[in-house]
Amino acid sequence: MTVAPSEFDTFCRFAFAFLEERGIRTLVVGGLAVIVVGEPRMTADADAVVFVSPSEAESLIHQAVEAGFELSEETERRRLEETGTIRFRKWRFQIDLITASLPFEETAYRRASFHALFGIRLRFPSPEDLILFKILAGRDKDMLDATGVARRHAGRLDVAYLEQTLQTICELAEDASLWNRLQKVLARP
């Protein structure tokens, strides 16, 4: 399927304006962040961490329907309860919203910087924090993205920050495999 850039741009402006109008703090992650912070690649969806309480997330689902997103409120409430995420679709695009649940995410928000994309200012994570988000997601494509970010910023990454932050996350999650993922990413650039 070929996507005209203007269609995706329009969707992203609509989706991020919806969040901004409601005062939702967002941090763009996923493919859009990789385009800005890492090595460019194609994407046809948007991903963002949102800093909302459970009741605010519930309300956001209802507001999304009223704003014209295509979704089942019941499905999204269930997704929110099971995974801490919600998905809003419009036309043939979607935005996945990940509700912040780790202290790391708040730190990543504070460390983030603004970049213009689609004619709007959006908050993107630092290279180190994007690497951490990708390592936490852990899919093959996320690991390739993390490696690309590390390669683009080789020699400028704050490795001590990466290791200290990930050590804390590993302890919280009781998952040492995350540490191994980081070491692979740092060894590849």
Domains and CATH numbers, the chain: 1-125 (3.30.460), 127-189 (no CATH)
Is 0.85 topped by the overall pTM? yes
Place of tokens 């780790």: 102
Residues facing residue 113 across a β-bridge: 124
pLDDT in tens, 54-109: 999 999 999 999 999 999 999 999 999 999 999 999 989 999 999 999 899 999 99
The span from the CA of 117 to the CA of 9, in Å, is 9
> Which regions of the chain are under pLDDT 70?
1-5, 189
CA-CA distances (angstroms) from residue 93 to 6, 19, 105, 177, 185? 12, 16, 25, 33, 30
Helix (H) or strand (E) holding 25: none
- Strand 93-99 and strand 45-50: the pairing is parallel
Residue type, 45: D
Amino acid letter, 189: P
pLDDT at position 4 is 52
Q: How far apart are CA 84 and CA 23, in angstroms?
A: 19
Q: What is the pLDDT of residue 58?
A: 93
The Cα–Cα gap between 25 and 22 comes to 9
